[in-house]
Amino acid sequence: MNWRDLAVVAILLGEFVGFGLAAVVIYRLMLQIGALKGTVETQATTLDMLHELNKTALEMAKSFDPKKFADAANTYQELVDQNAKALVEEARREFDRARPPAASAAGDAVERLARHYQGALRVGLGLMAFIPKNQRGAAIMTTDVPQEFKDIYLRIADAAPDWSAALLLMNLARVTLKADAPVSPLATR
């Protein structure tokens, strides 16, 4: 073997080593590109999911009809007023049966007390719809009133709609839409 043959063999060995190193580098680059591609796909999926959630929240806010809710609230308020009046009238009749004829001043005081009682009942029964339905019974049972009144309140609580979630949704819509004033279903009254 002469020096030319040795040079050719050295060049061939150098090229084999170069090709081997190039193959290793290309393989490592392919692994890195695959990992980056997976990261980008995960981020794209996350962004798509967030987009869908935002779209759903916006559709919920758009579908909420404040006028319809206000009408339902007014109807419920009328029902509460009727129930409060009936309870006050029943209490007044019972009081009239139990007491002897009293002086005019005492009658006026009783009348004023009955009006205050009716107002308090109206407020309490009006707020009943905003207490979650599964917590109303416990709240009523803790009151210091005769059992017959508790039974009436429990019937009213059972019939009253549950607007506790609607109130939460209205406040969420207010925050989402950046409204200036708090949302109140009775504001239209």
Q: Which two tokens stand for residue 45?
A: 């999926």
HEC string for 100-151? CCCCHHHHHHHHHHHHHHHHHHHHHHHHHHHCCHHHHHHHHHCCCCCHHHHH
- Using CB atoms within 10 Å of the CB of residue 115, give its burial: 0 to 12 exposed, 13 to 18 middle, 19+ buried: exposed
Query: Is residue 92 predicted with pLDDT exceeding 70?
Result: yes
Question: Residues 55-61: contacts with CB within 8 Å, 24+ apart?
Answer: 57/176, 58/176, 60/169, 60/173, 61/172, 61/173, 61/176, 61/177
**pLDDT confidence band for 189 (50 / 70 / 90):** very low
Query: Is residue 37 predicted with pLDDT exceeding 60?
Result: yes
The mean per-residue pLDDT over the stretch 53-69 comes to 75
In this prediction, what percent of the chain has a pLDDT beyond 70? 80
pLDDT at 104: 57
The mean per-residue pLDDT over the stretch 40-60 comes to 84
More confident residue, 12 or 188: 12
Rounded to the nearest integer, the mean pLDDT of the chain is 79
